[in-house]
Amino acid sequence: MAEKIIMPQGGQDITEGQVVQWLKSEGDEVKKGEVICEVETEKAVFEVESPADGVLLKIIVPAGQKARVLSTIGFVGAAGENVELEEEDAIEDKKITGIDVAILRKKVAAKGRGSKSQAKVSGRARKLADQKGIDISHVEGSGPKGRITEKDVLAYFETAPIPPESAAAPYESSKASAGAADIRGKSVPMTRKRKVIARRLQQSKQTIPHYYVTVTVDMTDAIQRRKEHHTKGEDDINVSINDMVVMAAAIALGEFPQVNCKLDEDNIHYLKDINIGVAVGLDDGLVVPVLPKVDTLSLQDIAKKTKELINLAKAGKQASLTAGTFTISNMGMLNVDNFVAIINPPETAILAVGSVRKNIMVASDNSFLIRDTMSMTLSADHRAIDGVLGSQFVNKIKYCLENPQILLG
């Protein structure tokens, strides 16, 4: 049976993607896991792998065209296998993009359902419309008696006019060619990525009751153990301070699973996997590549995988489609003493990490010591994480960093 090639979501709050190029043509042999096309969302470029061995039977969405996330963009199967789509199949399969929306609207019109102003609206649909700035009266309902569903709002959002990609060009090209000075005194449109960042962070600050817990970490021993680790040349992997913070956070999330959660309206979902996002600042905005199941990785594995993800992000690509459960934003390399970060919904916490500084500290015998210290601030969602829990959690991270044998062995 033919297998569908699916448009990846590539991040929360992403609704569509565009096929950049197909690396295989219809009829070409493919292997399971082989990269067969590249797609681009508002945040990054993704490589899409073949779901099975066989041949590329059909390309549904050609290069240069857009499709809804999780929709079918092609098929892989046995040579000669029939994968033609019937209209009724397209209606039943909500994942077929560009077909179901058009057919669905024709069906709605043909059935002569009630006016949009009189149609009932589900709570989730109204909430989604508010988030995306959509006038609900413009949306056609496909539910019973014309009820407007969340799916209908997404369908409308897809077909609403989208600013052309070239609208972002003046800002991006000026930075690339003549430098930042060229934008002085100018008004430029936001890039698509910047629009996503703005929408999500505004939503976070408006809807999440943030609170903040700051601790100072004595990093002297961690830095020394890190140097010794590099001197030994273990696995020839350069472990960074950020890698140590990631591992310490994974240990803390394992001990305090109440922090490893997400909110969905009135429900708190405690998550099984520990997936840590590492914020990476790029010229055109912030991306957060995610390390999946960090609690199963060694420090060397974390260092290797983080470096790979960051290099992909800088190249405009992203390898992991895993949703994060916790985020670390490290500005230590930017000469920043401390800062507070905005929570990345639906996550409930984020850790801000500052630079390592030489500071005078008082020992237990009242003597003075010069130590390497680092400030960390936890931003937490008070709806899910109480202050005591947040304090215990961030202090566990501090303890792991001040006792680096836990991390390095």
Catalytic positions = 382, 386
C-beta of residue 239 within 8 angstroms of C-beta of residue 226? yes
Secondary structure percentages of the chain, helix, strand, coil, to 5 = 35, 25, 40
* Sequence-ordered strand ranges (E) for 29-162: 29-30, 35-40, 45-49, 54-59, 66-68, 72-77
349-362 and 326-330: which strand pairing?
parallel
**Hey, what amino acid is at 29?**
E
d(CA 332, CA 161): 41
Taking CA atoms, 94 is separated from 2, 56, 71, in Å, by 18, 22, 8
Alpha helices by DSSP H, listed for 191-263, are: 192-207, 220-232, 241-255
Taking CA atoms, 263 is separated from 120, 247, 256, 260, 381, in Å, by 26, 24, 17, 11, 9
* CA angle, 393 then 396 then 401, to 5°: 135
